[in-house]
Amino acid sequence: MAAERTWLAWWRTALAASAGALAVGRFAPELLDVAAWPYVVLGCGYASLAVGLLIVGAQRQRELEHALRTGGHVPLRFRTVGLFTVGGVALAVMTVVLVIAQT
């Protein structure tokens, strides 16, 4: 069940990023009464993060399932961790900068 739990964790994170995309891209401009396009672009960034999480999560689940059947070990590559970390930090910083700039 470890592979299924891992897959569900990737899905939960992707759903949170999707909710963030909707909140930033659709609701924030209305709530802040500002131009929509920067928030739509930022929302697309969060949506791209969600897509990436779903794709990598599915691949990770397949790798873990194979490792469980063969008795192997498949660590998560640092390149993947680094990519999502840099992307997440960039989105968070851009969100903060955009919200501060609009107040």
For 40-52, how does the pLDDT look when each residue is reduced to its tens digit (9 = 90+)? 999 999 999 999 9
- pLDDT beyond 90 at 65: no
2 pLDDT above the threshold of 70: no
Q: How far apart are the first and last CA of the chain?
A: 47
pLDDT digits 0-9 by tens, 5-32: 888 999 999 999 999 999 999 998 998 8
**d(Cα 51, Cα 64) in Å, to the nearest integer?**
20
**Rounded (to 5) percent helix, strand, coil in the chain:** 85, 0, 15
pLDDT for the residue numbered 4? 74
In the numeric block, the tokens 């990436």 are attached to 52
Average pLDDT over residues 56-61: 92
